């Protein structure tokens, strides 16, 4: 039932290949393993999406798509999971990542003096980029790994539940 719901929500590769902006990479989007809904592809997609969401770069969805193509993970799920980074969640995620990275590197976290502006960001980019990148990669790796394991466990428990139901039906028919 979970698999059927996912298949209904996911876009069709044929529709994406008809998109004008995606024409140059349409041959990559036709690969069947990018659209499969099975335990391996979905759990890998969860890892890729959650990991990419923490990386502080523009075009995180493109990063997730590229990693999905190389890992043969489910493309739509990995791109959709990047959306956990949104205007509401991005500040706390990167704030925590930055402080974690600064703590791991043993450096003092830079405080914002005055208003946080683009000029402040460019003036302090060298000081914050190392801790932010380290903290982001570590948080992304940990959350991605947790999501990967959770997806595998949930998938397996659903399959085991279906097996139990079939076994009960068989024993009822035999009685």
Residue ranges per structural domain of the chain: 2-91+139-174
Q: How far apart are CA 132 and CA 130, in angstroms?
A: 5
Instruction: Give 154-169 pLDDT, tens digit per residue.
Output: 999 998 988 888 888 8
51: closest CA among 162, 151, 141, 164?
Answer: 141
Range of weakest confidence among 1-15, 75-89, 106-120, 141-155: 1-15
Instruction: Give 7-50 pLDDT, tens digit per residue.
Output: 566 566 566 566 555 545 555 655 667 777 788 999 999 999 99
Any residues with CB less than 8 A from the CB of 169 and at least 6 apart, and which?
none
HSE-up of residue 76 (Cα within 13 Å, Cβ side): 16
Q: Give the pLDDT confidence score for residue 26 in this predicted structure.
A: 53
């Amino acid at each position: 039932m979970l698999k059927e719901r996912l298949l209904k929500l996911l876009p069709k590769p044929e529709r994406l290949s008809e998109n004008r902006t995606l024409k140059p990479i349409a041959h990559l989007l036709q690969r069947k393993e990018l659209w499969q809904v099975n335990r391996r592809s979905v759990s890998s997609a969860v890892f890729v999406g959650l990991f990419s969401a923490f990386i502080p770069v523009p075009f995180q969805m493109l990063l997730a798509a590229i990693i999905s193509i190389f890992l043969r993970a489910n493309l739509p799920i990995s791109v959709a999971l990047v959306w956990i980074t949104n205007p509401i969640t991005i500040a706390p995620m990167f704030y925590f990542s930055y402080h974690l990275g600064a703590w791991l590197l043993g450096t003092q976290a830079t405080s914002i003096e005055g208003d946080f502006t683009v000029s402040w960001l460019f003036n302090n980019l060298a000081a914050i980029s190392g801790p932010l990148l380290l903290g982001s990669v570590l948080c992304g790796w940990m959350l991605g790994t947790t999501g990967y394991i959770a997806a595998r466990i949930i998938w397996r428990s659903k399959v085991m539940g279906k097996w139990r139901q079939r076994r009960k039906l068989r024993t009822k028919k035999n009685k």
